[in-house]
Homo-oligomer: A and B are copies of this chain.
Amino acid sequence: MSDLGGGRRARGGGGSARRAERTAVSFETARFIERNIPNFEILNDEALEIIERNAETVLEEIGVNFVENPAALELWRAAGADVRGERVHIPRGLARKLISTAPKSFTQHARNPERNVEIGGRNLVLAPVYGPPFVRDAEGGRRYATIEDFRNFVKLGYMSKWLHHSGGTVCEPTDVPVNKRHLDMLLAHMTLSDKPYMGSVTEPSRAADSVEMSKILFGSDFVDQNTVMTSLININSPMTFDGIMMGALEVYAKANQAAIISPFIVGGAMAPVTVAGTLTQVMAECLAGVAYSQLVRAGAPVIMGAFVTSIDMNSGAPTFGTPEAAHITYGAGQLARRLGLPYRSGGGFTGSKLPDAQAAYESANSLNMALLAGVNFMLHACGWLEGGLVSSYEKFVMDADQLGCLHGLAKGISMDANGQAMEAIREVGPGGHYLGCEHTQANFKSAFWRTEVLDYKPFETWEEEGARDTQALASARVKKMLADYQAPALDEGIAEALNEYVAKKKASMPDAFM
């Protein structure tokens, strides 16, 4: 970490940069969650072994497709797979052997080293919503997202105490040409926040831009030797790895940058309608994808992902916060731990159109299960609405507040003498009251998690203040946060170089909107 600080100071270094550092307001961010509670193990060993055996059968007998990617086929052939056309049959045990070089845990560095995150082990890193083309807020309703919205969400993420990561496509800035968006998005994450971020995956060249801009921010040597991005590589379920996504994966793996390799599954459509069948396919897909990352560069950091929803069989709509999604999330966590891979799943998922009770039931179901499922990296932890079509301003701060509950839960139960509180019980005795006792006074500030959004006021006070529902309370908080926002200090030389890179790149290509 002192390397990182030193490297950064060495690049810009002038008096104005030092002044900026001294005057900037810093917003408190909690350290990533280090669980002090057990995971919830829903499957027994026998069931897990069946799924593992079946997954190997899928890889060997059915195989997976690597499409429009002859180089990948060549790598697989050289590794000992049976390649027929674009279909790769992976002999039993080969994928598992290949993934043994993937790290069990890795550090993703932030430009502010206090915000580095450790991904793997018993840790949980929380990152915001990813991908929606729309935004919604209470006043403006639902509309296409712009780069201004994008910047707002990065600011909210930076100021959210329980959020460890700035994320990636917090919304799609649809007012920027599709081939240039990634530049503005990266610039926003790099300059408006000092939390770790994700790189672009929509084209291999955009992944390369992500690496180049990271080198400007962190220093070239630093990026060569350290992981500074975690990017999202989706598998086209069932069992298909497309050339563009794999191209981005190749760029990141070669640069030693982390990838989440994740099926995106609506159960019953892209995977079997049963939980055990879906887990089998998830495992087969992740084995193949992670193994491929290690073929590209042995030791490249990687996360096993599982994004799974169920389906409403009437309408075909994906559904969230359901028991079946919970089963899969718990089970996939067990499989990931047995493979020794960091695990990505969960999020504040909902199909609701509004940040209402449906949104909260479904999100709370998802968030709680992800904590107990042993998730290491949670994308979509806050702000997700309408099945991922919408980034919601209000839901962002509502969910981000609930993430504090996960921190509290994960702390576990203190069993020291202060925790046991026998002196307090003696002091108060039958019929007494604890509010005034010494033990309560000494502990009350830290004893309970406290919301910064929800309402606990007496009914009369609440009514006098306008009888606001959660959305209205969150709306007020969004406005206050954006008004209070101050950018974290950044070396002026680095900021200039980043802006220059973006301007030059943008000038080098015509706008594309498809």
Contact with B along A56-83 (1 / 0, CB 8 A): 0110011111000000000000000000
Closest to A242 in B: B431
> Quick one: CB contact mask for A441-474 with B, threshold 8 Å, 1 for yes?
0011101111101111111001100010111011
Q: Which residues of chain B come closer than 8 Å to A54, judged between CB atoms?
A: 420, 422
Contact present for A323 and B240 (CB under 8 Å): no
Q: Are A324 and B272 in contact (CB under 8 A)?
A: no
Oligomer: number of copies: 2
Contacting residue for A360 out of B351, B358, B414, CB 8 A: B358
- List 12 additional contacts besides A57-B422, A58-B425; criterion CB under 8 Å: A62-B430, A64-B430, A269-B434, A272-B434, A274-B420, A310-B447, A313-B444, A317-B456, A317-B458, A322-B408, A327-B412, A357-B398
Nearest-CB distance from A290 to chain B (Å)?
17
| A–B complex contacts, Cβ < 8 Å, 7 sampled | A57-B422, A270-B434, A272-B424, A273-B447, A313-B444, A351-B454, A357-B471
Task: Give which listed residue, B46, B267, B447, contacts A324 with CB less than 8 A.
Answer: B447
Q: Which one, A219-227, A276-284, A485-493, A498-506, is touching chain B?
A: A276-284
- The interface bits of chain A over 302-338 (1 if a CB of B lies within 8 angstroms of the residue's CB, else 0) are 0000000011111111010111101100010000000
Contact indicator B435/A269 (Cβ below 8 Å): yes
Stretch at the interface among A2-10, A35-43, A153-161, A171-179: A35-43
- Within 8 Å of chain B (Cβ to Cβ): is A411? yes
Residues of B contacting A414 with CB < 8 Å?
274-276
Instruction: Indicate if the CB atoms of A415 and B50 lie closer than 8 Å.
Output: yes
> Is A426 interfacial (CB-CB < 8 Å)?
yes
Answer yes or no: A355 CB below 8 A from chain B CBs: yes
Q: 7 tightest CB-CB pairs across the interface, nearest first?
A: A277-B421, A323-B408, A364-B364, A360-B360, A272-B421, A357-B470, A239-B430
A458 with B361: in contact, given A280-B422, A323-B405 (CB under 8 Å)? no
Is the pair A275, B413 in contact by a Cβ cutoff of 8 Å?
A: yes
Contact with B along A376-389 (1 / 0, CB 8 A): 00000000001001
Report the bound CA distance from A64 to B431 in whole Å.
9
The reply to whether the CB of A93 lies closer than 8 angstroms to some CB of chain B is no
Q: Is A432 an interface residue (CB 8 A)?
A: yes
**From residue 173 to 191 of chain A, which have CB atoms closer than 8 A to chain B?**
none
B458 touches A425 (CB 8 A): no
A359 interface residue (CB < 8 Å to B): yes
Interface centre among A412, A440, A467 (most CB of B within 10 A): A440
B47 A429 Cβ-Cβ under 8 A:
no
On whether A38 and B47 interact (CB within 8 A), knowing A238-B429, A358-B360, the answer reads no
Q: Which residues of B contact A310 (CB under 8 A)?
A: 447-449
CB-based contact A422/B323 at 8 Å: no
- Chain B: minimal CB distance from A392 (Å): 11
